[in-house]
Structure 1
């Protein structure tokens, strides 16, 4: 582990995301039992200048003061974070857009943005004495947890839909995880993970059912601001399953406003994108009825999340940012994923194809202007999705 330059963390406590009731940060916590909502990490912000980041390691732990691990020796890292922001000149020109850029999370150690959240969650679990974990996953989170548990010397059980492409299954096995394949989507995996938790005593790393994955994901927000010289884009488009990254990025922006690093009036619109096959969050935001019987699997594994525990926080983010929540079709996802690869040479996950499809629709209907600065958040490497693409048609 590289030397950490920050003297300490500013972490204060955990709070219920609905009522604000405080929970002890030094005890193992799951979610807020008072309101059955996610717990949020809160900090006591002291004087911290942006210039203090100069010379720190080029990974997510450079933001040490606003991360919740108390002692450096508990950090479990594979040097995740500080992923590049790439221009998309050919597609921008083709569609008459001034500035479209893409943050490529596929270049993280385990090939997706899940590296961030699971590095943080495993680090904090280690600090609190956890020796065994369990997780339900649509793919990438299982591989990431398997890698970081291997790094930490922890045992891990992964529950994954049996329709998940082989590469995700083999990744978990490669890192030594116990893999259980489940007949159903990630919600069924979540139900069964509770049984594993009760039987083995393993700590459950389900999305937003523990407080720290969001703290790893929020570092995407800090990086976006720093990499763009503290000038945020006008719009950020995000593929949304459980929504932890979207919530985390918005949390980071608000923390930076409190630190004085950015201005509140410059915050971007946040756009939620889901597939027509599985759009419970979009329907919830729009006040539409959710019929779980109509939910289907998706070419974008990470979007096939029938129930999002953090849906209220996702809705708050969209509303506070004056953003949007939209769906795209499976055909659009397929075609747009291939379009990015063939036109820009960037290997994006099918979730990345979904957000490019969404941008084209948003520009077409006038909700996003062609002269705005637009950032796409690609969540994973396209190399893991080649089986999905091959089998689609």
Structure 2
């Protein structure tokens, strides 16, 4: 399947080999496929006949016909129904449990796609800034590909997360600062050494891996999109990918309608929530970011305009919840048998707020995302 790369901001087309960001405006690039050349119904039959996993959708993934992915068996995670009663009694509440990916988080999908594309285009060395889970995923997939990986992680990253990164053989540097400082050091390292910088939205293919979560959800629901999803949002790759997936499936005539997308952030770091409330198209960086949900501690996202566009176009919104509510909700998910991380707990806490405000309605199907297993921390 052929694809082109197009800037998500200015629309400029970019060259494919080892692409990073738009050469004109520095904003994220998006992969665009020639969907008009595909038969949606034939695709659906082909996908159903293949084993579970994100590469079953390879016709709308960044993989040439003669290429094979760098894979550890990612994707194909369960969509579990939650029977919590109370305010959720009259609706269908589901959780997409991404903790069952090979390194324990949804980061496997994005890094699998990005590493696959990069090694096919000649990359042998990678660098990434990470709050932890993305670093572990890059370390694992780089190891699988026979490539090297350098990780820059905040000094207060949980010890268990750091040990996972080191387990896969990556060179790990702890940084006195947040993810933005790690990002600066990663860019410097890439410039000095020639390593490929695989940071969030600094290359176009992590979105393509993350979009397969929504593909699996829609397929599990009989090719009917859910009414709403609630997504823990740091860099926002998965939210952007979900919006992109729904658009692609509509173009393939595999679904009608859409899904309201809701971003959830921590009260101590909520730049997207603040920008959405103000009706802004970009989010100002959040000063003195603080939350125990390390995956949500992103003061400024390169793809902020794409996140806000997805929320606005889908008719969704954004909610901030305190750490205590996230932790309580993660335990509630645990009592339902889901090994939820704190970011997963944030989605249930946000769903309660959205239900109280009337955003989530009786009879609707709503999907929460547990983005990592509790054991990742």
TM-score band w.r.t. shorter chain: over 0.9
C-alpha distance in 1, partners of 2:307/2:111?
20
Instruction: Tell whether the 8 Å contact from 1:333 to 1:357 is kept in structure 2 after alignment.
Output: yes
Q: Residue in 2 aligned with 1:116?
A: 109
1:28 corresponds in structure 2 to 18
- Partner residue in 1 for 2:314: 321
**1:314, 1:92 → 2: CA distance?**
31
1:24 shift after superposition: 2.0
The aligned residue for residue 337 of structure 2 is 345
User: Which residue number in structure 2 is paired with residue 225 of structure 1?
Assistant: 218
Contact 2:333–2:345 under 8 Å retained in 1: yes
Equivalent of residue 381 in structure 1, options 368, 373, 376: 373
Write out per-residue CA displacement over residues 59-106 of structure 1, whole angstroms, 9 at most, x where no aligned residue: 1000011011225444100111111000111x1356434210101011
Match of 2:206 in 1: 213
| Residues 21 and 290 of structure 1: CA distance in aligned 2, closer, same or farther (over 3 Å) | closer
* 5+ long unaligned stretches in structure 1: 1-8, 386-393
Distance in 1 (CA, whole Å) between partners of 2:12 and 2:284 is 30
For the Cα contact (< 8 Å) 1:104–1:378, is it kept in 2? yes
Say whether the 8 Å CA contact 1:299–1:334 is kept in structure 2.
no
1:135 and 1:307 mapped to 2: Cα distance? 16
Separation (CA, whole Å) in 2 of partners of 1:12 and 1:332: 42
* Partner Cα distance (2:151, 2:30) in 1: 25
2:32 aligned to 35, 42, 47, which one? 42
Whether 2:68 is the aligned partner of 1:80: answer no
| Alignment deviations for residues 148-187 of structure 1 (CA, whole Å, 9 cap, x no partner) | 0000000100000010111110011100000000011111
Other-structure match for 1:173: 166
What does 1:86-125 correspond to in 2, within 5 Å? 86-89=80-83, 91-93=84-86, 95-125=88-118
Mapped partners of 2:317, 2:207: distance in 1: 21
C-alpha spacing 1:353/1:120, structure 2 compared with 1 (3 Å): same
Distance change >3 Å, CA 290–CA 20, structure 1 → 2: closer
Change (3 A) 1:122 1:291: closer
Q: Matches of 1:223 and 1:326 in 2, distance apart?
A: 25
Distance 1:369 1:150 in 2: 46
Instruction: Specify whether residues 76 and 332 from structure 1 end up closer, same or farther in structure 2 by C-alpha distance, changes over 3 A only.
Output: same
C-alpha displacement of 1:372: 1.5
Q: Secondary structure at the match of 2:235?
A: coil
Equivalent pair of 1:60/1:116 in contact (CA under 8 Å): yes
Matched residue SS, 1:363: helix
2:142 to 141, 144, 149: 149
The alignment's C-alpha RMSD in Å is: 1.4
Whether the 8 Å CA contact 1:172–1:179 is kept in 2: the answer is yes
Distance 2:322 2:26 in 1: 32
Does residue 1:13 correspond to 2:4, yes or no? Answer: yes
2:298 corresponds in structure 1 to 305
What residue is the counterpart of 2:48 in the other structure?
A: 54
2:356 pairs with 1:364: yes
Q: Deviations over 1:290-309 (max 9, x none)?
A: 4633322x221100001100
Cα distance in 2 for residues equivalent to 1:74 and 1:230: 27
Q: Which residue of 1 is the match for residue 250 of structure 2?
A: 257
Shift of 1:239: 0.3
- TM-score, normalized by length of structure 2? 0.95
> Counterpart of 2:85 in 1: which secondary structure?
helix
User: Could you list the per-position Cα deviations for residues 220-265 of structure 1 after superposition, in whole angstroms to 9, with x for gaps in the alignment?
Assistant: 11111111111111110000000000000110110011111001xx
Contact 1:237–1:271 (8 Å) recurs in 2: yes
Is residue 2:45 matched to residue 1:63?
A: no
Q: Is the 1:74–1:127 Cα contact (8 Å) retained in structure 2?
A: no
Match of 2:258 among 260, 267, 277: 267
Unaligned runs of 5+ in 2: none
**Whole-Å Cα distance in 2 between the matches of residues 12 and 150 of structure 1?**
27
May I ask how many residue pairs the two structures share in their alignment? 370
